[in-house]
Structure 1
Amino acid sequence: MVSLLDRALLALSPKAALQRAAQREAARMIGMRSYDGGRNSRATYGWMAGSTSANAEVYGNLLALRNRARDLVRNNPHASKALRVLTNNIVGSGITALARTPDAAINKKIDALWKRFVEECDFNGQLDFYGLQRLAIRAMLEGGDTITRLRPVTNKKFAIPLKLQLLESDYLDHRKNGIIEGGKRVQQGIEFDSEGQRSAYFLFRDHPGEAPFNIPNSYISDRVPASTILHLYEIQRLGQIRGASWFAPGMIKARELDTYEEAELVRKRIEACVAAIVIGGDDENEMGITTSQANNGASDSGPSIVDSSGNKVEQFEPGLIAYARGGKDVKFTQPSVSRDYDAYKSSQLRSIAAAWDVTYEHLSGDLRGVNFSSIRIGLNEFRRSIEAMQWLTAVPMFFNPVWQAFHDFAQVSGALPANTPRDVEWTMPRFESADPKTDTNSDIAGIRAMLLSPQEAIRRRGGDPDQVLKDSADWHKKLEAAGVVSDADAAQTAKPGAGIVKGAEGGQPSETIVPPEHDDEVVAP
């Protein structure tokens, strides 16, 4: 519809009217090409999205998210299972390290010292380094971040004068905020220098949660140099300095599923309590209400529903038989069947599993309807997520810094020469194969095609290539000394198990398997 202004402009200046119409159409097209999610419409009504920074978002919900996540893990079986699944797959029984300097003798010495350190590194003297790994990852996933404090020791009995003290994120005094002298700033308990680098952490002397036990230092924090602190958390946004609980995205759905199951359980219990109802009095309808009450609301002298003792029914108990006044006919109750319960719960668990980055089968333990292909595809994606957490978060923020600190203290104490190379190789826990035979054949084909090295294939299974080689060589020597021929030794047999004749052209297999000390008596066919 053309407005009155457009008509007047058209009469006075057709050119200006044409330009106005063109600009209006251009504005309309720009609006059509915008993102639907950015428009104000009925679909986005009530959707409030702030433009706060990552740190402002974490700071505003830090305590609530952390406390609710821990409550979920304590009381929700699915949250507890998800945390175990993630921890088991990220750490397993331990992520191992091997020195990889160019000098084999130095590697051997470093590995021996590292083995001692692994056994002695716990500040509390309870776990080894592999146990601390598990605690560090678990605390990060549950609470958002893990603080590890490097504690020097003077006791000469330890190979490396260093201990690792793991602290929950509660120890970090998030109340400390502001600008301090020298152009430094403190944000959520972390001090940054004038260049924006971390210079210190403000840590409580005791866990704030110990306050109910009258621990006097629970709310007193001290400045600790950042060089003695390892801060482990997942960085999800640029500039983020604190971590959020892994359970944050699915927290509400998990809680709602809990309340739904509780309501469903109460309904089932009530239905199961009432065994029968006696109804059908002369002056009552089917609900046990007298005709006079139904017609004019007149009250009666006694309750309309009583138990077998004549007492008014105020609560349901198992095996209850309720009597309506004047009842003559017994009606047995039939508990209803919730046909949608399984479907609804499965749907909710799938959403929660997606939020927590585990598979539905991991979360529920339900393997119905799963075939080999579907579970393999699901596990492949899950493993990619686990590997990303291992190599992009855990290794650079925890494992490598621990290795560097180990070298620092080893060299200062004289256990290692100064300027010893610090090359290291981390071996992750292996993933169990859904089809070991197929995966093994695939690795063999990849190695023969030079697409995969034997070392990498061994590391994928959580092994040490050098140790596997040494063990294999030692075993083959024992077999040879005992006169035993095994098709595991390619120097003795071909793949089908036929013996290899030394000096035979092309390494062709012989017809007969013979011990190696008598192979000169065999004539090649």
Structure 2
Amino acid sequence: MKLLQTIGSAFDRVVSVTDPVKAVQRAQARRVFAIYEAAKPTKQRQKQKANQSPSTLVGTSATALRAHARFLERNHDLSRGALRTLVNNVVGPNGIGIEPQPRRKDGTIHKEYAAALREARRDWQRCPEVTHRHSDAQMQRLVAKTWLRDGEAFTQTLMGRVPGLDHGTKVPFSLEMFEPDMVPLDYDDPGKFIRQGMEFNAWGRCRAYWVYKSDPREQLSWLNSTSALKRISADNVLHLAQMDRIGQARGISEFASVITRGEDLKEYEESERIAAKVAASMTAYVKRLASTETGYTGEGLEKDENGHVKPRDLYMEPGMIIDDLVAGEEIGMINSNRPNPNLIGWRAGQLRAFAAGIGTSYSSLSRDYNGTYSAQRQELVEQWVNYSVLADDFAAAFVQPAYDQFVIAAHLSGVVPIPLDVKPGTENDCLLVGQSMPWINPMHEAAAWEKLVQAGFASEVEVIRKRGANPNDVLEQIAAFRDSAKEKNLAFSSNAATKQTTVSVSAVPTELQQEAADNAQGKNDKTAD
């Protein structure tokens, strides 16, 4: 190797004299080879040669990953907890809210139309989907869980009169949820530009989905053919997919990169639990030494017909004394080293890696909240960015498109017609209200927001939304409460119309007056000094 390096260096010097440009190119090439060492396979690191297209990778792996992720959700507490944590922080208990903000032609918000849309949507949120089994928040959580676990979720929008369907709300608009198994991954027809159950145009835009008429997992295998499929226009399908690469058609499970670690954690913890259980059942044993060493003959013990000592039943209990041992016998204790003292540290490291891969926080996953206030807040702030990104993806692919069609259905049905003075194109403008980052120390957080509002760097509306509430609902609640309090001649410190009350000196007891005078005199004396 040294000989080759010497020859190469000599050759480089010759080239630098005869052709300097070529010498520079050789030097640059050598630096490139030195930089990209990761591309060279070694005995310790095998080269990954697979470089299929994103759709090919998804087509060969998505079904297996989806089934494995569902298995972990059913049978692994940590996986189930991680999925629940993601859904609760992305969607939350009330779902991603919508605040209508249609505009007039002068740019101001059309309050009357916005109020009518809010009222109609409040009625629709009671049973927004075809089965009437889920509210709007429940439906959002179910769709988000399917999206994160399976990699994608589908929803069909149904508007107006549909045979056999009762919308159940004033606005004739409903959603039909279905799992990704209903759109076959193995259905391809290049002649019709169909790839993995999706029909595309020449630019790669989806124009239709091919969906099973009934669940293929509940039918005989011979029904899983093209005759069992129906074509649904992409305009009527909300496709929420977890995308990793450009050009990817179908989604991949969020658990794809942590499935093996989760499975290892599950199996290892089960092994440790079984070992600890076995260790708790094993207490002691009677050791019989060789007769040549101690003269042990088993004399005095009951024997069988072959002259062997029969086993004795020794029942252990607190404070017991074993006094029936014979010569040559002693009690031996079993030490199993279980539970494993290194389990907690090893498990914590694995949980941190699992949490990083799945996109949730370690504290939420492990329920370990030890640490300083600064450390916990830093973890919460950094993790909340991931939750916000997922919430934005969910709202853009599911919540906003569903609301757009809701507004159209409300107009066409005459329930909430679009006023003539609404600026065209703004009738579906809205503010999406997601989950707010929780407060670790409410006293500090409230004081900080109060100072920001007083200084003019934030608004009351922003503070209300940061707490996860709707400003309009808060104003209505405050107004109704104060009207009720006024009727009963009650006043509270939260009443903005109540001015600061000044207590007269005569109303203060004499003892307090004297104490206040003494304090004032003391301050004057210090000032004089």
Normalising by structure 1, report the TM-score.
0.78
Q: Which residue of 1 aligns with 2:264?
A: 256
Q: Which residue of 1 aligns with 2:135?
A: 128
Percent identity among equivalent residues? 23
Once the two structures are TM-superposed, the CA of residue 487 in structure 1 deviates from its matched residue by 2.4
**Structure 1 residues 454 and 244 mapped into 2: Cα distance closer, same or farther (>3 Å)?**
same
Q: Indicate if the aligned counterparts of 1:176 and 1:188 stay in contact, CA closer than 8 A.
A: yes
Q: Which residue of 2 aligns with 1:425?
A: 431
**Structure 1 residues 21 and 63 mapped into 2: Cα distance closer, same or farther (>3 Å)?**
same
Q: Indicate if the aligned counterparts of 2:167 and 2:174 stay in contact, CA closer than 8 A.
A: no
Post-superposition CA distance 1:109-148 (Å, at most 9, x none):
2112112221232201211222111111011111111100
SS in 2 for 1:230: strand
Q: Which residue of 2 aligns with 1:291?
A: none
Post-superposition CA distance 1:22-46 (Å, at most 9, x none):
76655433333x1343343455x22
Q: Within 5 A, what are the aligned runs for 1:59-458?
A: 59-93=59-93, 94-101=95-102, 102-152=109-159, 154=161, 155=166, 158-181=169-192, 185-211=193-219, 214=220, 217=223, 220-282=228-290, 308=311, 328-337=329-338, 338-367=340-369, 369-391=370-392, 393-417=393-417, 421-458=427-464
Post-superposition CA distance 1:486-507 (Å, at most 9, x none):
32234423xxxx42xxxxxxxx
**Structure 1 residues 275 and 467 mapped into 2: Cα distance closer, same or farther (>3 Å)?**
closer
**Structure 1 residues 307 and 370 mapped into 2: Cα distance closer, same or farther (>3 Å)?**
farther
- 2:429 aligned partner, one-letter code: D
Say whether 1:460 aligns with 2:466. yes
Once the two structures are TM-superposed, the CA of residue 265 in structure 1 deviates from its matched residue by 2.7
SS in 2 for 1:174: coil
SS in 1 for 2:156: strand
Post-superposition CA distance 1:459-514 (Å, at most 9, x none):
12122212222332343444455444432234423xxxx42xxxxxxxxxx4459x
SS in 2 for 1:279: strand
**Structure 1 residues 489 and 248 mapped into 2: Cα distance closer, same or farther (>3 Å)?**
same
Question: CA-atom RMSD, angstroms?
Answer: 3.5
Q: Indicate if the aligned counterparts of 1:206 and 1:217 stay in contact, CA closer than 8 A.
A: no
Once the two structures are TM-superposed, the CA of residue 15 in structure 1 deviates from its matched residue by 4.3
- Between 1:192-201 and 1:69-78, the stretch displaced more is 192-201
- Between 1:120-129 and 1:140-149, the stretch displaced more is 120-129
Q: Indicate if the aligned counterparts of 1:152 and 1:163 stay in contact, CA closer than 8 A.
A: yes
Q: Indicate if the aligned counterparts of 1:98 and 1:111 stay in contact, CA closer than 8 A.
A: yes
Unmatched 5+ residue regions in structure 1?
287-302, 311-325, 500-509, 514-525
- Between 1:9-18 and 1:255-264, the stretch displaced more is 9-18
**Structure 1 residues 463 and 10 mapped into 2: Cα distance closer, same or farther (>3 Å)?**
closer
Report how many aligned residue pairs link the two structures.
459
**Structure 1 residues 415 and 342 mapped into 2: Cα distance closer, same or farther (>3 Å)?**
same
**Structure 1 residues 26 and 191 mapped into 2: Cα distance closer, same or farther (>3 Å)?**
closer
SS in 1 for 2:263: helix
**d(CA) in 2 for partners of 1:70 and 1:454?**
43
Q: Indicate if the aligned counterparts of 2:153 and 2:178 stay in contact, CA closer than 8 A.
A: yes
Once the two structures are TM-superposed, the CA of residue 241 in structure 1 deviates from its matched residue by 1.8
Post-superposition CA distance 1:321-352 (Å, at most 9, x none):
xxxxx973331213314221111111111111
**d(CA) in 2 for partners of 1:366 and 1:230?**
38
- 1:245 aligned partner, one-letter code: S
- 2:376 aligned partner, one-letter code: I
Q: Indicate if the aligned counterparts of 2:89 and 2:387 stay in contact, CA closer than 8 A.
A: yes
SS in 2 for 1:201: strand
**d(CA) in 2 for partners of 1:348 and 1:512?**
66
**Structure 1 residues 16 and 68 mapped into 2: Cα distance closer, same or farther (>3 Å)?**
same
**Structure 1 residues 202 and 512 mapped into 2: Cα distance closer, same or farther (>3 Å)?**
farther
**Structure 1 residues 216 and 452 mapped into 2: Cα distance closer, same or farther (>3 Å)?**
farther
SS in 2 for 1:37: helix
SS in 2 for 1:180: helix
Q: Which residue of 2 aligns with 1:314?
A: none
- 1:414 aligned partner, one-letter code: G
Normalising by structure 2, report the TM-score.
0.78
**d(CA) in 1 for partners of 2:382 and 2:10?**
65
Q: Which residue of 2 aligns with 1:323?
A: none
**Structure 1 residues 231 and 276 mapped into 2: Cα distance closer, same or farther (>3 Å)?**
same
Q: Which residue of 1 aligns with 2:519?
A: none
- 1:65 aligned partner, one-letter code: L
SS in 2 for 1:266: helix
**Structure 1 residues 6 and 221 mapped into 2: Cα distance closer, same or farther (>3 Å)?**
closer
Post-superposition CA distance 1:211-265 (Å, at most 9, x none):
3xx5985652222111111001233322222111111121111111112122223
Q: Indicate if the aligned counterparts of 1:9 and 1:17 stay in contact, CA closer than 8 A.
A: no
**d(CA) in 2 for partners of 1:491 and 1:7?**
88
